[in-house]
Amino acid sequence: MEISSQNTIEKSISCLLFPIAKTDAVKDQLAKAARLAGQGSELLSADFTGAAGEKTTLYGNGLKIHLIGLGEPKNWADLIKPFRSFSHKQAAQLSAATGVWLGGLTSAQALRRAEAAAHGLLLGTYQLGRFRQEPAGQEHPLAQEGAQLMFFGESLSAEEVTAAGQKGLHLAATQMQMMDLVNAPSNYKTPEMLASWALASGEAHGYSVKVLDKAAIQQEGLHALLAVNRGSEVEPRFIIMEYQGQGGNLPKIGLVGKGVTFDTGGVSIKPSTNMHYMKSDMGGAAAVLGTMEAAAKLRLPVHLIGIVPATDNCVDANAIKPGDVIGSYSGKTIEVTDTDAEGRLILADGIAYMLKHYAPDTLIDLATLTGSAVRTFGYHAAALFSSSESLQQQLMALGEAAGERVWPLPLWEVYEEDLKSDTADVRNFSGRPMAGAINAAKFLEFFTHQHPNWAHLDIAGVAFGDNEFSVQKSASGYGLRLLTAFLETF
């Protein structure tokens, strides 16, 4: 999709989106829409208030003007959703050359709305049915080759508005790829496929990618990753990505994402009821992969390293068993009391590798790690654990602004008692039906070497769930806006 901006509406535009928030001067905006449609002041008596979800269409002067209520958006997610919803549900009302009205706004408001409109309208073109033999319907007008999105409004800075819209497109395009990865069935989504995606993205956007195959993983001594992979018919991969922004003395940020491409639970097998959703157990990996691509696309001034240990967790005669003791990259031994607590095992190797080879100033790991996080926060927030009060507060504020909330839980020393082992340095699961997310975080903390600026995000409840765009649960793309906003603070 191509982006452009100008002050006057082109004759080539027949479809114009006219977003109005309840906080805007609604009567003035309605009067302007009436003038554009060649209608009189009778429009001012309409019931349109700008509430979220409101839609009205005006016709006149060769234009089809869709009034879209934005409500009172409190964050990016609130602002993006009306555009995404209209694009998804009202695709037939759009055209391959669609305009968006930004008049009557301050410069900052116009830029923010341009980014949100581009992001939401492109997200609305997303289709889940990648593996259908027959297409779900007609191609979305804005997904067609040569589609154009044009912004209009008095006294706009065309260059700035175009750049804001382009940023929205960049983030939406990457988010849709993240969603594709998470939604893909495990017989297509192997560790090798994740590695291939990273290699292709790195080549396209200018960041380096190194992939360790099983032999290299063995040579490096990533024993926890190898242990989880023992029951699998497909080999693991260890994906290392590095983006170097322009400038000197750049902050060095390390991201580690759990890449379990399917999780049966291993010998500690999961109930069958919702096991088909375990294709989503690499939501943390998707967040890291997407953020690497976004940072490179936006040319952010940071030194960013991303690591994804990737495997599935399956069952056969070679699979690890409850009670086994395994090694790890850090040299510490682990008693595996539950093979369904596998994500923390591969993250332990990823974190230890990151610290040894890159020594980041800030370390963040993300994982769809525990049902405990879902039971605590439902589908509205990720569980946040951090060794730094300032980092914790920063991520909470950024998550609130992005609409990707995080909320803190404690890392008190008393929880270490739950992970003491008689046979190894640490055990991976307490065995108690309580404090599951906290115990998982305490396990990971054991491998951080007391890093002073570390955060762990348990995104089990927010990376995959119900939404208005799919019949079953599907990916949300969680983490991209939060992590990109975090990188932009530097």
Please report the pLDDT score of residue 437 as a whole number.
98
Determine if residue 389 is labeled as part of a ligand binding site. no
Catalytic residue among 22, 35, 64, 270: 270
Determine if residue 340 is labeled as part of a ligand binding site. yes
Per-residue pLDDT reduced to its tens digit, 379-391: 999 999 999 999 9
Q: 């956007």: which residue's tokens?
A: 205
- Cβ of 24: how many Cβ atoms within 10 Å? 17
Q: 């119900």: which residue's tokens?
A: 466
Q: How far apart are CA 299 and CA 485, in angstroms?
A: 13
Domain ranges of the chain: 2-129+140-152, 176-488
Determine if residue 258 is labeled as part of a ligand binding site. yes
Q: How far apart are CA 82 and CA 143, in angstroms?
A: 18
Chain-centroid distance, C-alpha 412: 29
Confidence of residue 133 (pLDDT cuts 50, 70, 90): confident
String of DSSP letters for 237-289: EEEEEEEE-SSSS--EEEEEE-EEEEE--TTSPPPSTTGGGGGGTTHHHHHHH
Q: For domain 176-488, give the CATH number.
A: 3.40.630.10
| Domains 2-129+140-152 and 176-488 equal at CATH topology level | no
Closest CA to 411 of 377, 385, 440: 385
Q: How far apart are CA 93 and CA 59, in angstroms?
A: 12
Confidence of residue 468 (pLDDT cuts 50, 70, 90): confident
Please report the pLDDT score of residue 253 as a whole number.
98
Residue 84 a catalytic site member: no
Residue 442 a catalytic site member: no
- The yes-or-no verdict on residue 42 having pLDDT over 70 is no
Contacts (Cβ under 8 Å, ≥6 apart) of 473: 277, 280, 464, 465, 466
Tell me which fold the domain 2-129+140-152 belongs to. Leucine Aminopeptidase, subunit E; domain 1 (3.40.220)
Determine if residue 416 is labeled as part of a ligand binding site. no
Strand partners, 366: 257, 457
Which helix (H) or strand (E) covers residue 482, if one does? helix 480-488
Share the mean pLDDT of the chain.
Answer: 95
User: Contact 348/224 with Cβ under 8 angstroms?
Assistant: yes
Please report the pLDDT score of residue 165 as a whole number.
98
Catalytic residue among 344, 405, 442, 481: 344
Per-residue pLDDT reduced to its tens digit, 240-298: 999 999 988 999 999 999 999 999 999 999 999 999 999 999 999 999 999 999 999 99
Please report the pLDDT score of residue 364 as a whole number.
99
* Residue 139 DSSP class: P
Q: How far apart are CA 347 and CA 257, in angstroms?
A: 7
Using the Cα atoms of residue 85, residue 89, residue 93 and residue 95 in order, give the sign of their dihedral: positive
- The yes-or-no verdict on residue 134 having pLDDT over 80 is no
